[in-house]
Structure 1
Amino acid sequence: MDGVLIDNTRYQAKAFQLLFRELGLQTNALNLLKRLNGMPATNILKTVYRNPVPEKELKTYADRREFLYRVLYWNKRQEVAGLSNFLQAARAAGFKIALGTGSAPETIGYIIDHLNLRRFFDVVVGKADVDRGKPHADTFSEAAKQLGIPPDRCVVFEDAVLGEQAAYKAKMRCICLSTSISSSKFQTPMHVMKDFTQLTPARVLELLEQNPYTPKPGKHISERDYAKL
């Protein structure tokens, strides 16, 4: 959802930065999100502290960050260019569409119901539906299961390095958006784009045929400690 349906990373980073200021932490939130975007907020917070912090405390901080984010983003909510037209065309072409996100139900509604996007999705899988968030495969695997589509016929749209890794762990190919990071940061997506204005369902099928094999997750990313949270 974040960075794919909406271009909101700078607002997420600003909310984290305000939280860090309250907590007396010196971490650069934008740089942090460039590496860890897509992970649950509590796991992102775990990487900031040198010593373990109780889960209940992390949840309190994550809720505080969520409140700050919603205030900052309240009047800025808008879809990535071309999104509704692409989703409408994909449904007309017979595609099944799922939303897979690490967000909680109320956060999902804050975006997709406000923007009237829920009508495009056959399935919505969020934080409440899986045990482990990205970079683990659970979110995308559960979405494919609910759609009834085998992983090798699924395409994941991602804006984050760890989200791309989650796609490959789920045995799916990936199209990436450069809304949050530069295209050079991704591993091996089928295609990188800035928005949906130049993409069609027919082009997605072409990319699937041109890229018949799913890449293996990158060891340089998956072996890092934060990728195991």
Structure 2
Amino acid sequence: MKPALIFDMDGVVVDNTAYQARAFQLLFRDLGLTTNARQLLKRLNGMPATDILQTVFRHPVPAKQLKEYAAQRELLYRTLYWTKRREMPGLSAFLQAARAAGHPVGLGTGSGGPALRYILDHLGLRRYFDAVVGEDDVSQGKPHPDTFTAVARKLGVAPADCLVFEDAVLGEQAAYRAGMRCVAVTSTLPASAFQAPLLAIRDFTALTVPQLLAAGAAQPTAPRPRRQPAS
């Protein structure tokens, strides 16, 4: 079977990280927190919002309250990004080429169902993905491997035969923990921030399927992850 291609959503399918950060910053202002959202997301981008929020408080916060804060942040983000929703340049053409070449295509994200509909369905992209896994489908989000292993299982492909597209370091580590290789999408971080990607791309305008396969052949096995996942 040809390698499966698995895409993260935020920062990969769409270039929305700056809007995500702005929404977090507005929430922090409302809560009287001085945390720098951009710096926070450089470290924790890819994790579910409730997990990210849990790190900014010095005292324990009940899960119900974290969910309420996450919902408030989501509303702020959607309002900010409402008229800006665009697919990453070159994405549809690349997805069409990959599917035409016989590659299974999946999506694995820390976002939940409403956020998936907000992006995938609004942009008409869901039809390109043979399997979609979100926050509601796994018990542990990134940097744990569950999201990507669930996509591979739905696609019927061994993890070793999956190539992941990620814009976040924690997402890259999740791919390696799943036994997969990774392409770095540098919409959020520079290529130097990643451990050992097959390729580093800004978007999909210049990437071809043969180029991707050549990079995969040059790195036939997944690198070892740097450290254990956060609890």
Instruction: Name the counterpart of 1:205.
Output: 213
Which one of the candidate residues 155, 158, 166 is aligned to 1:150? Answer: 158
Instruction: Name the counterpart of 1:114.
Output: 122
Which residue identity does 1:53 align to in structure 2?
V
Matched, 1:228 2:221: no
- How high is the TM-score relative to the length of structure 1? 0.96
Which residue identity does 2:119 align to in structure 1?
I
- How high is the TM-score relative to the length of structure 2? 0.95
Higher relative contact order (CA 8 A, sep 6+): 2
* Alignment deviations for residues 40-91 of structure 1 (CA, whole Å, 9 cap, x no partner): 0000011101111000000000000000000000000001110000000000
Matched, 1:184 2:184: no
How many aligned positions are there? 223
Alignment of 1:14-53 (within 5 A): 14-53=22-61
Counterparts of 1:107 and 1:152, CA distance in 2: 29
* Alignment deviations for residues 180-211 of structure 1 (CA, whole Å, 9 cap, x no partner): 01111101111101000111111221111111
Matched, 1:59 2:67: yes
Which residue identity does 1:18 align to in structure 2?
L
Q: Helix, strand or coil for the counterpart of 2:124?
A: coil
Counterparts of 1:213 and 1:14, CA distance in 2: 37
Counterparts of 2:107 and 2:150, CA distance in 1: 11
Instruction: Name the counterpart of 1:3.
Output: 11
**Structure 1: which 5+ runs fail to align?**
none
**Structure 2: which 5+ runs fail to align?**
1-8
Which residue identity does 2:40 align to in structure 1?
L
Which residue identity does 2:61 align to in structure 1?
V
Identity within the alignment, % = 59
Alignment of 1:67-106 (within 5 A): 67-106=75-114
Q: Helix, strand or coil for the counterpart of 2:143?
A: coil
Counterparts of 1:189 and 1:73, CA distance in 2: 29
Q: Helix, strand or coil for the counterpart of 2:78?
A: helix
Counterparts of 1:65 and 1:39, CA distance in 2: 14
Q: Note the C-alpha offset of 1:156.
A: 0.3
Q: Helix, strand or coil for the counterpart of 1:74?
A: helix
Counterparts of 2:142 and 2:13, CA distance in 1: 17
Q: Helix, strand or coil for the counterpart of 1:12?
A: helix
Counterparts of 1:108 and 1:189, CA distance in 2: 26
Which residue identity does 2:182 align to in structure 1?
C
Which residue identity does 1:41 align to in structure 2?
A
Which residue identity does 2:138 align to in structure 1?
V
Q: Helix, strand or coil for the counterpart of 2:26?
A: helix
Deviates more, 1:203-212 or 1:148-157: 203-212
